[in-house]
Amino acid sequence: MQGLRHAALATPSGKRISVTIAPDAAHGGAFAASRIADLLHAVVGRPPVLGLATGRSVAPIYAALVETFRRHELDASRIQTFNLDEYLGLDADHPASFRHFMREQLFDPAGIPRDSCHFPEAAADEGGADLAAYENAIRAARGIDLQLLGIGVNGHVAFNEPGSSRHTRTRRVRLADDTLRENAPSFEGLGPMPTDAVTMGIATILETRHVMLVAWGAAKAAPLRRAFLGPVSSACPASYLQEHPGTVEVVVDRAAAGELERALT
């Protein structure tokens, strides 16, 4: 694709990460969608398993993926999906729920069967039995082949907020003030935003075979620097990706890449 720059980045932990810089989110989303399609095609002998994120960062990717499905370049009936997170106690039909977002942006237009699409339990109780079942469902699917991630302004991935341990699994969490402010526009006119959520944990994310993290805009430049040029620390949960045993690639636009430029080769 024209206008893309491909580079490599060596993190302080020694892990090398592939970085693709696109001129804007539309071009970056199209590239990410093509990479996802290639990686799913590479899974043979079983249904491919795709880990998914929600929000503005992934919307252009899903728009491009829908076109890929409509051209019959991917078989929607074979794919299993697992989403990272959901607001606690929010109904699936609530316009700000992640289940609603995914149905509108990807699942329904692409024709992915509803029973192939999995979310952590939005009504999870304190005992955690429902969330343990989510972990078991991922294992039963033989793990996640490709996990799509965004990054929060405070360095979170999924809803693993600063302070999250590397060993966390799918669980209930209290959302940080930064996250509440960042996501508040999605709830304008729709009532109060939940202050708690359920999220896939760091340990679960690190068990996925391939991670693709995407980010657009200057607001993501600083958290990307902390994640990939700073030390591995619970203060920036995205930095745990430096310890991922498999492949990690980053797709960003020029504004988001600003603070990574000096380290790219």
The catalytic residue positions are 85, 154, 156, 161
Which string of b and e fits 167-185 if b means at least 16 CB within 10 Å? ebbbbbbebbebbeebbee
26: burial class by Cβ within 10 Å (0-12, 13-18, 19+)? middle
| Main-chain phi, psi angles of 220, to 5 degrees | -95, -5
Q: Rounded to whole angstroms, what are the CA distances from 92 to 56, 96, 101, 102?
A: 19, 9, 9, 10
Would you say 179 and 193 are in contact if contact means Cβ atoms under 8 Å apart? no
Identity of the amino acid at 82:
F
Other CB atoms closer than 10 Å to residue 230's CB: what's the count? 18
Identity of the amino acid at 194:
P
Q: Which contacts qualify for 223-226: CB closer than 8 Å, 24 or more apart?
A: 223/151, 223/152, 223/153, 223/154, 223/155, 224/151, 224/250, 224/252, 224/256, 224/257, 224/259, 224/260, 225/259, 225/260, 226/155
| Helix (H), strand (E) at residue 179 | helix 177-183
Alpha carbon dihedral 32, 99, 135, 179, in 10-degree steps, equals: 80
